[in-house]
């Protein structure tokens, strides 16, 4: 029987708080550091490896974390999730995003259907539609092929798919799988939609409207903006639009769309990149085969995440170390630092994934918790970040745990040798140097040039960022966030924090305001 208990009630957590802190400067210096790097790593899917030698842990800490994972029943709770238990207690829903890429356990029935079969059917429907678009079977009014796909969505309907598209764009061009350029409209700010529309030929653009409910204010506003642009160009909007929505939404059977692809209430927006939300735009952009490879990488990482052995389960281990840093060492934030320009929007996606999931101050039963939960997540690609906020990371008053991601080879496969090394070698040299610099520091009598070190980091390393590796990377972080939510005993799958502002905004637009809300509305000429 699975028991849902607060972190601070677990005996193993109490023992974890009493473990001796690890002095990173000492253990990462000299030959001891070399031995740690060889020892502390865990294989992931798609040829990736999670390295945590530069984290402030040792064998005693890892044993305490293993005991915590067992007492918190992390593996059992994951099994409950993928076998169809009601894990989203806030909304009384199942949590099924893993089913979009594979079946880990029992057949899951909901709404009278086999949900794995439902998701596969949507993927097949998207694949056929994308193939027909690429083959010129679905064309514009002039009988010409669509050349651009534009996704209209916000939050999880934008951040994940946009990050995944950017991650694979150059890879697809290099590997001759690039089919259509993709653009994204998300912000209700009219300048966002206008900028995208000004950059595309609307006559050859296919628009994907993503709204599970069919009522998302920002998305429907941007849809109207796009429809006006199409009408002004003498085009019929219904010939240029498809919908990704739920079967019960007003968009599902509307004549305003060429096709509708379905999602459901069991997949939250921030977990939806492997559903139709990401599937439509990525299949149109790169082809269904590439999207299938992406799903395969995620499915493989999901399988590894079921392992009860903490030291062989990278997502669970990453989660446990993160909770140790947050709750025992007291670090309030985490920086995500991909040394890959293709992952330029990946930190933004992880920011939503993590902070919307675990930014909670009550547990699964609505009771206040007395310990910190989700950290602040931020980040940018290296080496750009080195010339920006790394100053604070190295010498600031707060210690910020770091999550690096790096690849041995570039996506383009070609490079230039300058001053005895290639661009890719320079990139990799920088990430290796940063890990050691953060951990070991550098003593200097000039305090302005003194680096105390002791700044923990981990790194995920792969051969090349390709669809399978991207899928594995995505699933790793989704599962990490899930495991941390289990440990904190919060519901990682609802997001009530986004609702209050929406309600007040509707009051403003209806001119039903008073007090401070009215004054701010007046200041903004609403």
- Token match 């981990």: residue? 458
**Residues 18, 31, 38, 387: which is the catalytic one?**
387
Burial state string for 419-458 with b = 16 or more CB within 10 A and e = fewer than 16: eeeeebeebbeebeebbbbbbbbeeeeeeeeebebbbbbb
pLDDT, mean of residues 334-343? 98
Q: Please, what is the average pLDDT of the chain?
A: 97
> What is the band of 2 on the pLDDT scale with cuts at 50, 70, 90?
very high
Instruction: Give pLDDT tens digits for 251-305.
Output: 998 999 999 999 999 999 999 999 999 999 999 999 999 999 999 999 999 999 9
What local confidence, expressed as pLDDT, does residue 215 receive?
85
Instruction: Give pLDDT tens digits for 33-52.
Output: 999 999 999 999 999 999 99
For residue 26, pLDDT over 90 is answered with yes
> What is the band of 217 on the pLDDT scale with cuts at 50, 70, 90?
confident
**Residues 218, 301, 325, 356: which is the catalytic one?**
356
**Residues 502, 506, 512, 519: which is the catalytic one?**
502
Determine whether 426 is an active site residue. Answer: no
Distance, in Å, from the CA atom of 262 to the CA atom of 244, rounded to the nearest integer, reads 6
Instruction: Give pLDDT tens digits for 372-388.
Output: 999 999 999 999 999 99
pLDDT, mean of residues 15-37? 95
Q: Is 210 helix (H, G, I), strand (E, B) or coil?
A: strand
Determine whether 240 is an active site residue. Answer: no
Inter-residue contact 180 to 148 (CB < 8 Å): yes
Determine whether 80 is an active site residue. Answer: no
pTM of the full structure: 0.97
Element (H, E) at 241: strand 241-246
> What is the band of 521 on the pLDDT scale with cuts at 50, 70, 90?
very high
């Amino acid at each position: 029987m699975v028991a849902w208990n607060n972190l601070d009630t677990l005996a193993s957590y109490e023992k974890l708080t009493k473990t001796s802190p690890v002095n990173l400067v000492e253990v990462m210096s000299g030959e001891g550091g070399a031995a740690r790097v060889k020892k502390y790593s865990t294989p992931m899917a798609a040829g990736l490896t999670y390295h945590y030698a530069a984290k402030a842990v040792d064998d005693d800490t890892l044993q305490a974390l293993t005991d915590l994972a067992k007492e918190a029943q992390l593996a059992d709770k994951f099994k409950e999730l993928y076998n169809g238990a009601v894990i989203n207690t806030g909304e009384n829903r199942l949590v099924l995003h893993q089913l979009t890429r594979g079946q880990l356990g029992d057949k899951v029935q909901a709404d009278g259907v086999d949900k794995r079969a439902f998701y596969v059917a949507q993927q097949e429907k998207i694949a056929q539609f994308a193939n027909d678009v690429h083959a010129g079977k679905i064309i514009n009014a002039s009988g010409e092929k669509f050349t651009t796909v534009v996704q209209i969505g916000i939050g999880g309907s934008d951040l994940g798919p946009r990050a995944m598209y950017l991650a694979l764009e150059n890879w697809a061009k290099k590997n001759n799988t690039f089919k259509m350029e993709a653009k994204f409209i998300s912000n209700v700010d009219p300048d966002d939609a206008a900028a995208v529309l000004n950059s595309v030929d609307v006559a050859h653009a296919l628009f994907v409207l993503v709204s599970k409910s069919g009522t998302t204010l920002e998305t429907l506003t941007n849809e109207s903006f796009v429809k006006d642009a199409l009408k002004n160009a003498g085009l019929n909007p219904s010939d240029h639009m498809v919908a990704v929505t739920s079967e019960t939404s007003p968009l599902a059977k509307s004549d305003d769309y060429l096709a509708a692809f379905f999602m459901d209430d069991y997949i939250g927006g921030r977990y939806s990149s492997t559903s139709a939300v990401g599937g439509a735009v990525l299949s149109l952009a790169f082809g269904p085969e590439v999207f299938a490879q992406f799903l395969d990488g995620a499915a493989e990482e999901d399988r590894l995440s079921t392992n009860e052995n903490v030291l062989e389960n990278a997502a669970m281990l990453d989660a446990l170390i993160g909770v140790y840093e947050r709750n025992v060492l007291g670090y309030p934030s985490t920086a995500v630092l991909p040394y890959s320009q293709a992952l330029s929007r990946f930190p933004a996606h992880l920011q939503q994934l993590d902070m919307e999931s675990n930014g909670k101050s009550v547990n699964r039963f609505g009771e206040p918790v007395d310990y910190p939960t989700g950290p602040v997540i931020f980040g940018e690609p290296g080496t750009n970040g080195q010339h920006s906020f790394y100053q604070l990371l190295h010498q600031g008053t707060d210690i910020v745990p770091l999550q690096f991601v790096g690849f041995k080879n570039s996506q383009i496969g070609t490079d230039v040798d300058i001053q005895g090394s290639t661009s890719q070698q320079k990139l990799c040299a920088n990430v290796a140097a940063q890990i050691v610099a953060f951990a070991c520091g550098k003593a200097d009598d000039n305090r302005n040039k003194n680096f105390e070190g002791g700044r923990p980091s981990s790194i995920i390393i792969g051969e090349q960022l390709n669809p399978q590796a991207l899928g594995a990377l995505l699933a790793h972080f989704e599962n990490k966030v899930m495991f941390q939510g289990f440990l904190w005993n919060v519901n990682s799958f609802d997001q009530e924090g986004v609702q209050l502002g929406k309600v007040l905004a509707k009051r403003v637009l209806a001119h039903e305001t008073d007090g401070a809300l009215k004054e701010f509305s007046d200041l903004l000429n609403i």
